[in-house]
Structure 1
């Protein structure tokens, strides 16, 4: 499972944001189910940053978000993310893809 969090950051906040973003990535990396993570900055628009993480499955990511360290060191920064869907399934040749359908009965 991929998680893509994008952020819009003003130039005067870039240094502090970069440090906080790396702290958030390192904190998430310490969680069970974390596979990999990358911090990126857009080449054409330097105010646009991204944190892309890979997880064993959606449950691992959701459990990570509820840990004390993540709530303390990552959630405050993640709350600054652009409000858009962030969870993606890997697309593997020949594999069934997620379908657009109701996920609950009520």
Structure 2
């Protein structure tokens, strides 16, 4: 399952945000069911960031959110309020 948390980050906070995003990824990486993750920044709207992670299932992701809440809390004001968990319907790897 795919989890996408988007953030709107003022340019003046981007360096601190990137460090905090890495801390969140490090926390997630230590949780059961974590497969991979990345912190990405929009090439078209530099204030828009995404924390994208992949999990073995939604239950793992939701439990990891609880475990990471302390490191995520300072960034909550920057989060875009929208659903973040997506189940795979089709997947394909590149060649």
TM-score range (shorter-chain normalised) is 0.7 to 0.9
What residue ranges of structure 1 are gaps of 5+ in the alignment?
94-106
Deviates more, 1:3-12 or 1:76-85: 76-85
Q: Which has the higher contact order (CA 8 A, sep 6+)?
A: 2
Q: Would you say 1:62 and 2:62 are equivalent positions?
A: yes
Q: Which residue of 1 aligns with 2:83?
A: 85
Q: Which residue of 2 aligns with 1:15?
A: 15
Q: Deviations over 1:57-96 (max 9, x none)?
A: 01111111222xx122234435631001111111227xxx
Q: Would you say 1:47 and 2:47 are equivalent positions?
A: yes
Q: Which residue of 1 aligns with 2:5?
A: 5
Larger radius of gyration: 1
Aligned length: 91
Q: TM-score, normalised by structure 2?
A: 0.86
Q: TM-score, normalised by structure 1?
A: 0.78
**Corresponding residue SS for 1:18:** helix
**Corresponding residue SS for 2:51:** strand
